[in-house]
Amino acid sequence: MTSSTHNGWANYETWNVALWIQNNEFLYNTAKACVEYCSDNETPWDKFQRCMTDGQIGNFIGRTRDGVEWTDTKIDGIAINKMMKDL
């Protein structure tokens, strides 16, 4: 029987995104800023995705270095929001 989780996360994509955010200074600081500055109509994860895919940053950082796109629909946004708020 195999586990349906990946290192305690919902799947590989969620684990990979969390790993990069928690272990890369730029992504970590961006995630913390997204928690602090997200508007009432968006979550920190929504804001982070927008920062990583739009504008100057998004032109260069549309995915993790392992190839997982920030907008991948497999990513558990609820878990990532919780992780980001705990930073």
In a domain, 2, yes or no: no
In a domain, 15, yes or no: no
Q: What is the pLDDT of residue 56?
A: 67
In a domain, 4, yes or no: no
Q: What is the pLDDT of residues 15-61, one digit of tens each?
A: 999 999 999 999 999 999 999 999 999 999 999 999 898 866 666 68
Q: What are phi and psi of 69, to 5 degrees?
A: -75, 140
Is the pLDDT at 11 greater than 50? The verdict is: yes
In a domain, 11, yes or no: no
Number of domains in the chain: 1
Tokens coding 11: 């799947």
Q: Which domain holds residue 74?
A: 25-85
pTM over 0.85: yes
DSSP label of 61? -
In a domain, 81, yes or no: yes
